């Protein structure tokens, strides 16, 4: 029996979701959850924020239930991804390399595809991923790095991608100084914050984290009031 796709109004977010990525220790994970994060991201690819499956598993054993975990992989072997997800208890795979729609589809319904945004040419890459991923994470293009540049991109491109009907997670240089403008402009399903709340790569700043979530909490309260 053919299963029809949900209408787009059904997949629109009801409340902004927040992912804190680059988690490497329990202290940062606990702070993120306490402040209101919905998702924790663990990087299993080459990065100053890379963590091991053993560390990620130990952290996830100690976080509360219903907090989603996301594993970040770059052009990794599918079997390694599966083994890591199963070992750690990871909920979703974020594919941050050159993975094709067909590659991503094998991890559905737990696949997020990262797209590196440089210019409008990225728009032609979006449609093939529809139905093959749960969401697209939009990050800033860099020739040298697959992600974590700490730089933002033209958010109007994110708006155009959102209008194509795939839930988007906005990333790329987000932090306390621009999170309100980013959310207001793009209206994403979720935001992904990493270097914008760090003291150093892999170590979050409690001050910046609290400042970020104070602003996000205000936005969530406004959204709740607007739905009444």
Higher pLDDT, 14 or 73: 73
Active site residue 98: no
6 lies in some domain: no
Q: What is the crossing angle of helices 206-226 and 26-35, to 10°?
A: 30
207 lies in some domain: yes
4 lies in some domain: no
In this structure, what are the phi and psi dihedrals at residue 125, rounded to the nearest 5 degrees?
Answer: -90, -10
Q: What is the pLDDT of residue 152?
A: 77
Cis omega (within 30 of 0) on the bond before 82?
no
Higher pLDDT, 142 or 2: 142
Q: What is the pLDDT of residue 119?
A: 87
3 lies in some domain: no
69 lies in some domain: yes
The one catalytic residue among 21, 28, 88, 104: 21
Rounded to an integer, the average pLDDT of 81-104 is 97
Query: What's the pLDDT tens digit per position in 110-159?
Result: 999 999 998 899 999 999 999 999 999 999 866 665 555 667 788 999 99
Rounded percentage of the chain residues whose pLDDT exceeds 90: 81
Q: How would residue 199 be classed by pLDDT, with cut points 50, 70 and 90?
A: very high
Q: Is the pLDDT of residue 5 over 60?
A: no
156 lies in some domain: yes
Query: What's the pLDDT tens digit per position in 36-76?
Result: 999 999 999 999 999 999 999 999 999 999 999 999 999 99
The one catalytic residue among 28, 104, 139, 192: 139
Domain of residue 130: give its range: 13-226
User: What is the number of structural domains in the chain?
Assistant: 1
Active site residue 104: no
8 lies in some domain: no
Contact 31, 205 (CB under 8 A): no
Question: Which H helix or E strand runs over 40?
Answer: strand 39-43
Rounded CA-CA distance 194/61 in Å is 22
The pTM for the full model equals: 0.89
Q: Is the pLDDT of residue 2 over 50?
A: no
User: CATH no. for residue 18?
Assistant: 3.20.20.70
Q: What is the pLDDT of residue 1?
A: 44
129 lies in some domain: yes
Rounded CA-CA distance 228/224 in Å is 7
Q: Return the SS3 of 222.
A: helix
Rounded CA-CA distance 16/189 in Å is 6
């Amino acid at each position: 029996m053919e299963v029809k796709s949900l209408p787009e109004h059904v997949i629109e977010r009801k409340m902004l979701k927040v992912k804190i990525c680059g988690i490497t220790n329990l202290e940062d994970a606990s702070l993120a959850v306490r402040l209101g994060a919905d998702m924790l991201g663990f990087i299993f690819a080459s990065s100053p924020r890379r963590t091991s499956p053993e560390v990620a598993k130990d952290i996830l054993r100690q976080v509360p239930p219903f907090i989603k975990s996301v594993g970040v992989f770059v052009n990794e072997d599918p079997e390694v991804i599966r083994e890591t997800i199963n070992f750690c208890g990871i909920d979703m795979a974020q594919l941050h390399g050159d993975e094709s729609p067909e590659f991503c589809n094998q991890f559905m319904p737990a696949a997020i595809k990262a797209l590196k945004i440089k210019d409008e040419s990225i728009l032609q890459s979006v449609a093939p991923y529809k139905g093959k991923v749960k969401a697209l994470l939009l990050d800033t293009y860099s020739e040298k790095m697959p992600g974590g540049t700490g730089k933002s991109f033209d958010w109007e491109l994110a708006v155009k991608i959102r209008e194509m009907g795939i839930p988007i997670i906005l990333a790329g240089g987000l932090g306390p100084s621009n999170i309100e403008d980013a959310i207001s402009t793009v209206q994403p399903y979720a935001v992904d914050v990493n270097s914008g709340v760090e003291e150093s790569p892999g170590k979050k700043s409690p001050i910046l984290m609290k400042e970020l979530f104070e602003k996000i909490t205000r936005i969530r309260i406004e959204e709740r009031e607007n739905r009444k």
